[in-house]
């Protein structure tokens, strides 16, 4: 047990995997001496640089993610830093190909690739776009979005050990936002949601920063006698359908949060799943809370208005309670 | 046959095999990307690679690349026909995507260019492992216009990867003539990334083979990537049922007269490397072999619904 920030936990997980397995290496723009934007690779160059396992690349996102795909096809376990999720558009073809490989090869080809991307509103104040939902329509790809340092550590280790291409999301508002206990013995595989807070009156579904806000909102709701259960999705693709459904069947009400704009958001899959398979157990219509269908705005005041806030989560939950 | 005659005979075999595939698969599938006119380029590129080498072939020649890496002819044919016995179990097309376990990086989602980056990744894996294996990134003159192609060359040169880029320049991209698709020279682009670059006569299999030997040896030594541009001509249509109303018949006939197999036959006979009878025997054996494999593949079962197997989209954790 050690206390770490989200950023420290993520880098510690990579370093631990690099020590355990020589096939793990990191690659990306400015991840060497510079240490990566927001210190996303801090210390790795000093420890592994001499072995050639920390590879700085030119500004060629499609190709360096492609190099990751090819290296993963032939024995390595690359961890590629895309810098920011805004650049996802530049590597869509690589995800499309890599995601198809296991199925299209008749099950012979494994692609153990992790692509890291920072995103989200917050202190970094830029590169905020949350585009991960594009990959929901891409077979064979996994999407992971931790909400706290302990999960960041365990999920990064699990992502590196997973034999599929994984997009690993690192929310910038969580990155340096305080330390928490990190248990480095927690065995974890991808695809499992967690119950971040137990409750009986409604279920709030969230990931990353939205989980943090949902937990804060749940405290406020508790003061008003409303018991909210917070389901932290952790893995967005594939969804942990069993945990999602069990919670809604228990509470009978569902509020689905999204940092991505509502249209085409991955959170809509959660709502669709509940509508199809838990409708009979619901006491109220499913409620979604997401930003409007606009590009992420810059000014703090607009950003605050744009994103589901603690207050709006509380108010939506109260509406649901009727 | 002496040792020095072995390579020319193998090259001849690969060339005729390539042409025979054309005749057999093309007759069955109007979407087959014909190879006529480019047999010397294809044989010269793919001959003599080692087991750990990885190829991202251009789609025109992908089946020959797989065969050169030891793939089974009948299984590949079954893959072209969508049979359950294929490497891909009928889930994908063997004509554009060979078995990765034999070192073939195919077109998975059909977009040209990105596989050159994947080949660079295979080259990086070999380098990190300290193996003397290399990767080939093969592309057409059309793909040379992709940013992915430029990025992959730059990346391979910067990282000094054991890789050979080969442009199969057949002077036309579907219907777009070279002059309308490529400004300047493809060979010069390689040079601009600081890598040794050579243009060779793609209809001269010995010239292609010699250039490849030099580039692959350089890559295996750890001296970095090279580019070879094989200048040839697509005598075939873009695909077999292509009406080809976009180009001049006379130009096609001029190039058909320069076809590489007849040229290499004449060379082998004149140099006393093979007799006409030897070569006829190779031709006849290949016809028999390819015809038989294709007939067997046709009789193979089509996939049952259970082979859709949606859960197979993810690789399960190894036990």
For A169, list phi and psi in degrees, rounded to 5: -95, 130
Res B190 pLDDT > 90: yes
**Residues A64, A117: contact at Cβ < 8 Å?**
no
Give chain A positions within 8 Å (CB) of B129.
Answer: 75
β-strand partners of B173? B176
Domain definitions of chain B by residue range: 3-300
Binary contact (B119, A110; C-beta < 8 A):
no
Q: Which of A23, A77, A105 to mutate to test the interface with B (most CBs of B within 10 A)?
A: A105
Binary contact (B317, A189; C-beta < 8 A):
yes
Of A73, A108, A238, the CB nearest to B121: A73
The pLDDT assigned to A232 comes to 98
Of A63, A70, A104, the CB nearest to B108: A104
Strand locations in chain B, DSSP E? 54-56, 135-140, 163-169, 172-173, 176-177, 197-201, 226-231
Q: Give the residue-averaged pLDDT of B68-79.
A: 96
Angle (CA) A244 A247 A250, round 5°? 150
A62 — contact with chain B (CB < 8 Å)? yes
How many CB pairs below 8 Å do chains A and B form together?
Answer: 154
Bridge-based pairing of strands B176-177 and B172-173 is antiparallel
Binary contact (B122, A238; C-beta < 8 A):
no
The Cα-based distances of A124 to A128, A176, B233 in angstroms read 8, 10, 54
The gap from C-alpha B196 to its chain's centroid, in whole angstroms, comes to 21
Binary contact (B105, A70; C-beta < 8 A):
yes
CATH architecture group of domain A194-321: 3-Layer(aba) Sandwich (3.40)
Res B3 pLDDT > 60: no
Among all residues of A, which ones are annotated catalytic?
Answer: 61, 132
ipTM: 0.96
The pLDDT assigned to B58 comes to 97
Task: Give the residue among A29, A106, A19 at the shortest CA–CA distance from B100.
Answer: A106
For B253, list phi and psi in degrees, rounded to 5: -65, -35
pLDDT (tens digit per residue) in B82-124: 999 999 999 999 999 999 999 999 999 889 999 999 999 999 9
A94 — contact with chain B (CB < 8 Å)? yes
Provide the shortest C-alpha distance from residue B51 to chain A (in Å). 13
What is the Cα–Cα distance from A48 to A17, expressed in whole angstroms? 12
**Residues B186, B167: contact at Cβ < 8 Å?**
yes
Domain definitions of chain A by residue range: 2-182, 194-321
pLDDT (tens digit per residue) in B143-152: 999 999 999 9
Give chain A positions within 8 Å (CB) of B89.
Answer: 106-107
CB atoms under 10 Å from CB of A311, counted, come to 12
CATH of B3-300, one of 3.30.70.1230, 3.40.50.970, 3.40.605.10, 3.40.1280.30: 3.40.50.970
**Chain position carrying tokens 């004449």:** B266
What is the Cα–Cα distance from B164 to B197, expressed in whole angstroms? 10
The pLDDT assigned to A1 comes to 75
CATH architecture group of domain A2-182: 3-Layer(aba) Sandwich (3.40)
pLDDT (tens digit per residue) in A69-124: 999 999 999 999 999 999 999 999 999 999 999 999 999 999 999 999 999 987 77
**Chain position carrying tokens 């579904």:** A205
Residues of chain A with pLDDT under 50: none
Give chain B positions within 8 Å (CB) of A66.
Answer: 114-118, 120-121, 148, 152
Alpha-helical segments (H) within B169-243: 178-181, 186-192, 205-221
B-proximal residues of A, 105-134, CB under 8 Å: 105-111
A65 — contact with chain B (CB < 8 Å)? yes
DSSP conformational letter for A285: -
Res B4 pLDDT > 80: no
Query: What band does B1 get if pLDDT is binned at 50, 70 and 90?
Result: very low
Give chain A positions within 8 Å (CB) of B101.
Answer: 105, 108-109
Domain A2-182 identical in fold to domain A194-321:
yes
Q: Give the residue-averaged pLDDT of B270-299.
A: 96
B-proximal residues of A, 148-207, CB under 8 Å: 161-164, 189
Give chain B positions within 8 Å (CB) of A97.
Answer: 108-109, 111, 114-115, 118
**Chain position carrying tokens 């409620």:** A287
Res B2 pLDDT > 60: no
């Amino acid at each position: 047990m050690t206390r770490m920030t989200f950023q420290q936990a993520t880098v510690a997980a990579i370093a631990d995997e690099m020590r355990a397995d020589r096939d793990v290496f990191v690659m990306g723009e400015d991840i060497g001496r510079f240490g990566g934007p927001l210190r996303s690779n801090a210390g790795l160059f000093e420890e592994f640089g001499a072995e050639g396992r920390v590879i700085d690349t030119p500004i060629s996102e499609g190709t360096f993610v492609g190099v990751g795909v090819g290296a993963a096809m032939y024995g390595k376990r690359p961890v590629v830093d895309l810098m920011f999720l805004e650049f996802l558009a530049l590597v869509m073809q690589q995800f499309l190909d890599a995601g198809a490989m296991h199925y299209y090869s008749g099950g012979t080809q494994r692609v153990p690739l992790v692509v890291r991307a920072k995103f989200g509103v917050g202190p970094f104040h830029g590169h905020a776009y949350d585009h991960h939902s594009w990959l929901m329509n891409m077979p064979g790809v996994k999407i992971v979005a931790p909400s706290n340092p302990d999960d960041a550590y365990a999920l990064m280790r699990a992502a590196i050990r997973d034999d599929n291409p994984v997009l690993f999301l690192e929310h910038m508002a969580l990155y340096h936002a305080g330390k928490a206990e990190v248990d480095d013995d927690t065995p974890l595989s991808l695809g499992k949601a967690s119950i971040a807070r137990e409750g009986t009156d409604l279920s709030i579904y969230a990931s990353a920063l939205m989980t943090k806000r949902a937990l804060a909102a749940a405290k406020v709701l508790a003061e008003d006698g409303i018991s909210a259960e917070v389901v932290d999705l952790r893995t967005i693709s594939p969804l942990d359908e069993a945990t999602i459904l069990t919670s809604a069947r228990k509470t009978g009400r569902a509020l689905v949060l999204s940092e991505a704009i509502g249209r085409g958001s991955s959170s809509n899959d959660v709502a669709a799943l509940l509508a199809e398979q838990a409708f009979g157990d619901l006491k109220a219509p499913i409620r979604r809370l997401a930003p409007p269908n606009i590009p992420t705005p810059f000014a703090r005041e607009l950003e605050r208005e744009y994103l589901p806030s603690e207050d709006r989560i509380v108010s939506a939950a109260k509406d649901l309670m009727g | 046959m002496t040792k020095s005659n072995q390579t020319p005979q193998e090259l001849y075999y690969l060339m005729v095999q390539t042409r025979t595939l054309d005749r057999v698969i093309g007759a069955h599938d109007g979407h087959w990307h014909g190879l006529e006119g480019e047999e010397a380029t294809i044989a010269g590129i793919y001959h003599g690679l080692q087991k750990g080498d990885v190829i991202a072939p251009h789609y025109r020649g992908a089946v020959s690349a797989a065969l050169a890496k030891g793939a089974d002819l009948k299984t590949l044919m079954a893959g072209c026909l969508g049979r359950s016995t294929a490497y891909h179990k009928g889930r994908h097309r063997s004509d554009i995507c060979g078995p990765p376990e034999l070192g073939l990086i195919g077109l998975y989602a059909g977009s040209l260019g990105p596989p050159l980056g994947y080949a660079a990744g295979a080259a990086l894996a070999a380098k990190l492992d300290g193996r003397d294996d290399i990767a080939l990134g093969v592309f057409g003159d059309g793909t040379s216009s992709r940013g992915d192609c430029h990025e992959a060359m730059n990346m391979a040169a910067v990282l000094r990867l054991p890789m050979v880029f080969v442009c199969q320049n057949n002077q036309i991209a579907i219907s777009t003539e070279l002059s309308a698709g490529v400004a300047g020279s493809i060979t010069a682009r390689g040079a601009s990334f600081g890598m040794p670059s050579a243009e060779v006569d793609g209809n001269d299999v010995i010239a292609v083979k010699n250039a490849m030997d030099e580039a692959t040896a350089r890559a295996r030594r750890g001296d970095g990537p090279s580019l070879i541009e094989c200048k040839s001509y697509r005598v075939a249509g873009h695909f077999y049922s292509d009406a080809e109303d976009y180009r001049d018949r006379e130009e096609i006939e001029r190039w058909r007269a320069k076809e590489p197999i007849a040229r290499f036959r004449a060379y082998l006979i004149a140099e006393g490397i093979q007799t006409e009878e030897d070569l006829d025997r190779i031709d006849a054996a290949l016809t028999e072999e390819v015809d038989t494999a294709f007939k067997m593949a046709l009789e193979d079962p089509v996939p049952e619904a259970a082979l859709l197997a949606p859960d197979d989209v993810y690789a399960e954790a190894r036990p």
